[in-house]
Structure 1
């Protein structure tokens, strides 16, 4: 086996010395690939019997905009051992959309498989070193989605690899709680979803059904309302707004009429959501229409959190109990004059003063890997 540690140049985490908990003889892969995705393994198998010097966990965060896979070593399962802070990341790979509702099941699986292979290649390792894969992807909203994806994932990896499939909200939660599922998580990026977990295993969600079904606090929802406001102002149904000139400049268009062709030429969610910074800048400049759009988004996001907290009783019967609130996504980014995330916290704290906002220090893909590590640790300690 190799003794050299490798690190992806794109990784934001430092590799650390780790105590791998177990080693096993590399099992035979269940299947080969004709598309070339895993071709790199053949050379490594000849050179060193599998590549790498760690047992590994793959953590994936798949969204509508991008998909991230991190390769993390399996560190100690000693009693009382907590994950290193920050957790060690050996490699990181990025690909496009893996939401099957957006690109179709075939394209989504191709993206997921490619990004896993890329991460292992960057880590100088192969599937024979993998002990667990935790895949958290937007669009996994029903047990049938989960089972279908699990079957596909198990066909790729050796039989003894632990495979987990969740909605991307799970990875987002775990990124703020070091792999534990308890509390509420709010994701607001291209799309939005609120998810809650209790310590006894109950869970609930709100929103996350996509823009057609009303995810109005999302990046897509904010930008779509801005585009609608421009059209309304242009034809006299709504007030004039700074959004008109700013959006036309951003898109290099000369008239609001051209927005029709621009929008329907490619109505992808992420493309629309990319206009959110323009809406925020207009609100910061005092535009009442843009300000109203963001205030509505805050109310929508706070309502999603409230729905989850109330259904699960996360803050107790009187609403005064403490509960972590993990906040993830580009819409909730701080360091702006008009801080949407800060306004959501202010709004929800009036009703649930014990909510403890957490802005994760690691990305959701690392959270997915930590979630898998916690499961491996429990199984190791129970002897299962």
Structure 2
């Protein structure tokens, strides 16, 4: 059958990959799912092989060999040079006539707005922010960790909580209930025991993210150190959003600010209140939205945007995921 006018939408995060084949009318004709997308860990070729585990079944379900356009929103596409490298690798797979690669944060933004206009801050394991305007202008940050000025995300919050708790227990820092609540989460009676368990691998590294909800609960119970960390995350979210809005000349306009990722979607009251308060000062016309739709919807909408699809196609696609 060859290539068609369909859109192949790919949302590939660190932990999972979702794929959808979209017809010209916005209908979802095939879907696929695979594991996480981590080219820095496994290499680009192996990462593409991982995508194929979701892409090929989706194309087969749709009854097509390839699409007219591939809209890929990919984790670890943090810099333009990485986007270009990954786009070249996707073109080599010949899954579509044209290919557009974006960072996966753009998928969450597009899933949360009615047109490609607004800013999104995503806080999951890490933290990132992007913005876009209908004329194609974008705003973004490198978002590759502390070397690019980032603070926050679930992993970062867990590390900060452990730091304060360890110092509280051994006397180098201020008292905090985190010294009790963090080890208690794993059934341990001291920070020393938790430090030992983490260091020796008795508690796997990937389980550290479980400490982030403990931090929020401890702050909600009145602990000042934990509460201050929650407030600092709110400060970071608003700082990223307001800078992105300013870069796009949207700071004084009514515009969506989309919040996504596990930490922000959990709707912690103290964090929500802090973000709303500070954003009202920095961008008083901004409208906060929390997106819970699957990011593959955003990748697909971006694909329809690229293909110049009719508004009815966008509505059909949203109805499917609603």
TM-score category by the smaller chain? Answer: 0.7 to 0.9
Could you say what secondary structure the match of 1:274 adopts?
Answer: helix
Quote the Cα distance in structure 2 between the aligned partners of 1:256 and 1:210: 26
Residue 284 of structure 2 is aligned to residue 347 of structure 1: no
Q: Which residue of 2 aligns with 1:201?
A: 136
Shift of the 200–303 alpha-carbon distance from structure 1 to 2, 3 Å rule, reads: same
Residue pair 2:260, 2:292 contacting (<8 A) in 1 also: no
Name the stretch that deviates more: 187-196 or 326-335.
326-335
Greater CA radius of gyration, 1 or 2? 1
Q: Which residue of 1 aligns with 2:55?
A: 116
Could you say what secondary structure the match of 1:144 adopts?
Answer: helix
Q: Which residue of 2 aligns with 1:310?
A: 246
Quote the Cα distance in structure 1 between the aligned partners of 2:41 and 2:147: 12
| Residues 313-349 of structure 1 deviation map (CA, whole Å, 9 limit, x = unaligned) | 212xxxx3212211111111254443x2443132111
Shift of the 94–274 alpha-carbon distance from structure 1 to 2, 3 Å rule, reads: farther
User: Per-residue deviation at 1:371?
Assistant: 0.8
> After superposition, where does 1:57-206 map in structure 2 within 5 Å?
57-64=7-14, 66-76=15-25, 88-90=27-29, 92-101=31-40, 104-120=43-59, 124-125=61-62, 128-158=65-95, 160-178=96-114, 180-206=115-141
Residue pair 2:265, 2:290 contacting (<8 A) in 1 also: no
Residue 288 of structure 2 is aligned to residue 357 of structure 1: yes
Could you say what secondary structure the match of 2:141 adopts?
Answer: strand
Residue pair 1:133, 1:369 contacting (<8 A) in 2 also: no
| Residues 246-273 of structure 1 deviation map (CA, whole Å, 9 limit, x = unaligned) | 2212234443224444445679985433
Shift of the 110–231 alpha-carbon distance from structure 1 to 2, 3 Å rule, reads: farther
State the number of aligned residues: 309
Q: TM-score, normalised by structure 1?
A: 0.71
Shift of the 140–313 alpha-carbon distance from structure 1 to 2, 3 Å rule, reads: same
Quote the Cα distance in structure 2 between the aligned partners of 1:252 and 1:118: 43
Could you say what secondary structure the match of 2:300 adopts?
Answer: helix
Residue pair 2:19, 2:54 contacting (<8 A) in 1 also: no
User: Per-residue deviation at 1:118?
Assistant: 4.6
Could you say what secondary structure the match of 2:176 adopts?
Answer: coil
Please tell me the root mean square deviation across aligned C-alpha atoms, in Å.
Answer: 2.9
Residue 273 of structure 2 is aligned to residue 324 of structure 1: no
User: Per-residue deviation at 1:182?
Assistant: 1.7
Could you say what secondary structure the match of 2:11 adopts?
Answer: strand
Residue pair 1:176, 1:362 contacting (<8 A) in 2 also: yes
Residue pair 1:186, 1:327 contacting (<8 A) in 2 also: yes
5+ residue gaps in structure 1? 1-25, 29-53, 77-82, 380-384
Q: Which residue of 2 aligns with 1:294?
A: 230
Could you say what secondary structure the match of 2:135 adopts?
Answer: coil
Residue pair 1:58, 1:69 contacting (<8 A) in 2 also: no
Q: Which residue of 2 aligns with 1:233?
A: 168
Quote the Cα distance in structure 2 between the aligned partners of 1:93 and 1:265: 37
User: Per-residue deviation at 1:206?
Assistant: 3.4
Could you say what secondary structure the match of 1:322 adopts?
Answer: coil
Q: Which residue of 1 aligns with 2:317?
A: none
Residue pair 2:70, 2:99 contacting (<8 A) in 1 also: yes
User: Per-residue deviation at 1:377?
Assistant: 2.4
Quote the Cα distance in structure 2 between the aligned partners of 1:265 and 1:96: 27
Match of 2:219 among 280, 283, 290: 283
Quote the Cα distance in structure 1 between the aligned partners of 2:89 and 2:266: 38
Could you say what secondary structure the match of 2:282 adopts?
Answer: coil
Quote the Cα distance in structure 2 between the aligned partners of 1:199 and 1:269: 41
Shift of the 378–57 alpha-carbon distance from structure 1 to 2, 3 Å rule, reads: closer
Q: Which runs of 4+ in 1 moved over 6 A?
A: 266-269
Q: Which has the higher helix share?
A: 2
Quote the Cα distance in structure 1 between the aligned partners of 2:189 and 2:57: 42
User: Per-residue deviation at 1:147?
Assistant: 1.9
Quote the Cα distance in structure 1 between the aligned partners of 2:105 and 2:63: 28
